[in-house]
């Protein structure tokens, strides 16, 4: 029988709320782990399995992503003590987490396995530096790379800057507005005992830090850390028997891209990012819109990346991202806090997974801040967001994670509180 002429290849709507993230885990966020990525990955996976209340042997699917700077599922499966029915190790950095969750749902729906662990293990400071210094910067320049690396156009900051700069030109976005992304995320990190950098910064601190490549100051850039992170996904039905009230996955998009992926700057406007296309898949799949979201996890490889994604996913009008991120909306206590863990700018760099982990904990209403633990073993959240205090978002029901690979490619996921 011939296929219908038009096939909707996006997530069928009936998968809404059918899968859940049942466990999350991470290692300590460090600079200098003194461990292999294999040891880090095992550590994070064990934590996620324990968090879910599962046995290692319950994990029968595994996905990972890396830029050839990590270990693979083939080592992890044995090291945690399980046998896999499905695994895949993918190439990728930011935007991989949400896209792999989509793949995990797909393979479970297709009957290939029943419970998938996704991990990212990296020594982003002590081995393959995420800022691009070290061995990668001195590698030979061959073929297509002559169009970029021969011009000293290699690191993420260098590659993305023409987008950031053009946004300032087109919309009058000001450095002090964008700096507020770092200020706000540093406030959140100060209430996160796990964050590598807990210090609160001011707009002046950001603008007086040294220029890396215009328009980026040192404090506009994410941190480089060594760590592993892991999450576990299974059916919502099975999640009911597990430890937590697991957040349910409403909808996913990824890796959705602008045209001309070989060199996306050929297609304008260049101040537009992948979210412009992704929003039309994400929101209909999730059955909610930006106005329904209580907290965002907008990927902060740089201050600018959070802002651009919030804009193109529709949390504000195009060009008004500078106003949005400096308005107080994205702050704990504001209408829609962003990256409540401190994100990549402060907590640690994981290529997106720590922002999903944070929103899972937020939706459990059990974020791991310094609030006192009550007689029932649960944290008694104070909702006092002063330094060192609470970071639980009050009454949170819906979150959105907006993942970023680069200006052209994005993935995203909407979750809602379970139960």
Q: Which is nearer to another protein, 112 or 141 (CB)?
A: 141
- Closest separation in Å from C-beta 411 to another protein: 23
Residue tagged active-site, from 29, 87, 196, 349: 349
Query: What does DSSP say about strands 409-416 and 86-91: parallel, antiparallel, or unpaired?
Result: unpaired
Q: Is 67 in the site for another protein (CB under 8 A)?
A: no
Integer Cα distance of 193 and 242 in angstroms: 26
**Binding track, positions 214-253, relative to another protein; x by CB under 8 A:** xx--------------------------------------
**Out of 52, 80, 165, 310, which residue is the one contacting another protein (CB under 8 A)?**
165
Residue tagged active-site, from 277, 299, 313, 324: 299
**Out of 265, 287, 365, 383, which residue is the one contacting another protein (CB under 8 A)?**
265
**Binding track, positions 145-164, relative to another protein; x by CB under 8 A:** -xxxxxxxxxx-xx--xxx-
Task: Give the Å distances, CA to CA, from 372 to 102, 342, 383, 384.
Answer: 36, 21, 12, 12
Nearest to 307 by CA among 281, 354, 339: 339
Q: Which is nearer to another protein, 149 or 318 (CB)?
A: 149
Three-state secondary-structure class, residue 327: coil
Q: Is 210 in the site for another protein (CB under 8 A)?
A: yes
Q: How far apart are the first and last CA of the chain?
A: 42
Q: Which is nearer to another protein, 53 or 269 (CB)?
A: 269
Count residues binding another protein (CB under 8 A): 48
Q: Is 212 in the site for another protein (CB under 8 A)?
A: yes
**Out of 55, 199, 260, 335, which residue is the one contacting another protein (CB under 8 A)?**
260
- Closest separation in Å from C-beta 80 to another protein: 36
Q: Is 169 in the site for another protein (CB under 8 A)?
A: yes
Query: Is residue 349 annotated as a catalytic residue, yes or no?
Result: yes
Integer Cα distance of 104 and 90 in angstroms: 13
Q: Which is nearer to another protein, 90 or 150 (CB)?
A: 150
Query: Is residue 299 annotated as a catalytic residue, yes or no?
Result: yes
Q: Is 213 in the site for another protein (CB under 8 A)?
A: yes
The answer to whether residues 282 and 399 touch, using CB atoms and an 8 Å cutoff, is: no
The answer to whether residues 49 and 56 touch, using CB atoms and an 8 Å cutoff, is: yes
Q: Among positive and negative, which fits the CA dihedral 86, 92, 93, 95?
A: negative
Q: Is 267 in the site for another protein (CB under 8 A)?
A: yes
- CB-based contacts of 143, cutoff 8 Å, min separation 6: none
- Closest separation in Å from C-beta 167 to another protein: 9
Q: Which is nearer to another protein, 90 or 211 (CB)?
A: 211
- CB-based contacts of 36, cutoff 8 Å, min separation 6: 71
Q: Is 204 in the site for another protein (CB under 8 A)?
A: no
97-156: contacts with another protein (CB under 8 A): 131-133, 137-138, 140-144, 146-155
The answer to whether residues 410 and 278 touch, using CB atoms and an 8 Å cutoff, is: yes
- Closest separation in Å from C-beta 208 to another protein: 10
Cβ burial, residue 399 (10 Å; 0-12/13-18/19+): buried
Integer Cα distance of 331 and 327 in angstroms: 9
Q: Is 174 in the site for another protein (CB under 8 A)?
A: yes
The answer to whether residues 195 and 346 touch, using CB atoms and an 8 Å cutoff, is: yes
Task: Give the Å distances, CA to CA, from 65 to 10, 73, 168, 282, 353.
Answer: 22, 10, 33, 22, 11
- Closest separation in Å from C-beta 137 to another protein: 5
Cβ burial, residue 4 (10 Å; 0-12/13-18/19+): exposed
Q: Is 182 in the site for another protein (CB under 8 A)?
A: no
- Closest separation in Å from C-beta 63 to another protein: 30
Q: Which is nearer to another protein, 169 or 386 (CB)?
A: 169
- Closest separation in Å from C-beta 41 to another protein: 27
Tokens in use for 279? Answer: 């929003």
Catalytic residues, by residue number, are: 299, 349
Q: Which residues bind another protein (CB under 8 A)?
A: 131-133, 137-138, 140-144, 146-155, 157-158, 161-163, 165-166, 168-169, 174-175, 207, 210-215, 259-260, 262-263, 265-270
């Amino acid at each position: 029988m011939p296929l219908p002429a038009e096939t909707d290849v996006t997530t069928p709507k009936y998968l809404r709320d059918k899968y859940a993230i049942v466990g999350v885990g991470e290692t300590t966020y460090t600079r200098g782990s003194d461990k292999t990525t294999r040891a880090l990955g095992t550590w994070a996976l064990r934590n996620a399995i324990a968090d879910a209340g599962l046995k290692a042997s319950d994990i029968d699917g595994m996905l990972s992503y890396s830029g050839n700077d990590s270990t693979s599922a083939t080592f992890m499966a044995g090291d945690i003590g399980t046998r896999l029915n499905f695994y895949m190790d993918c190439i990728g950095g930011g935007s991989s987490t949400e896209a792999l969750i989509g793949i995990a749902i797909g393979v479970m729906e297709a009957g290939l396995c029943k419970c998938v662990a996704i991990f990212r293990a990296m020594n982003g400071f002590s081995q393959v530096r995420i800022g691009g210094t070290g061995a990668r910067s001195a590698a030979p320049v061959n073929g297509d790379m002559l169009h970029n690396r021969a011009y000293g156009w290699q690191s993420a900051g260098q590659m993305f800057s023409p987008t950031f700069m053009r946004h300032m030109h087109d919309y009058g976005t000001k450095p002090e507005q964008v700096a507020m992304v770092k200020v706000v995320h540093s406030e959140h990190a100060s209430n996160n005992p796990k964050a590598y950098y807990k210090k609160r910064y001011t707009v002046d601190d950001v603008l007086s830090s040294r220029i890396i490549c215009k328009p980026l100051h040192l404090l506009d850039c994410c941190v480089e850390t060594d760590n592993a992170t892991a999450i576990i996904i299974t059916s919502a039905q099975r999640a009911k028997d597990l430890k937590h009230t697991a957040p349910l996955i409403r909808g996913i998009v990824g890796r959705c891209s602008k045209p001309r992926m070989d060199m996306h700057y050929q297609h304008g406007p260049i101040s537009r990012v992948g979210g412009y296309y992704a929003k039309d898949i994400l929101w209909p799949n999730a059955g909610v819109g930006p106005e329904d979201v209580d907290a965002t996890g907008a990927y902060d490889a740089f201050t600018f990346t959070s802002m651009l994604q919030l804009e193109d996913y529709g949390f504000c009008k195009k060009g008004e991202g500078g106003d949005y991120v400096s308005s107080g909306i994205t702050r704990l206590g504001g209408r829609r806090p962003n990256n409540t863990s401190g994100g990549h700018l402060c907590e640690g760099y994981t290529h997106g997974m720590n922002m999903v982990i944070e929103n899972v904990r937020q939706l459990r209403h059990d974020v791991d801040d310094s609030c006192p633990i009550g007689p029932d073993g649960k944290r008694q959240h104070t909702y006092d967001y002063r330094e060192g205090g609470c970071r639980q978002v009050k009454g949170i029901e819906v979150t959105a994670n907006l993942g970023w690979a680069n200006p052209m490619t994005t993935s995203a996921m909407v979750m809602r509180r379970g139960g």
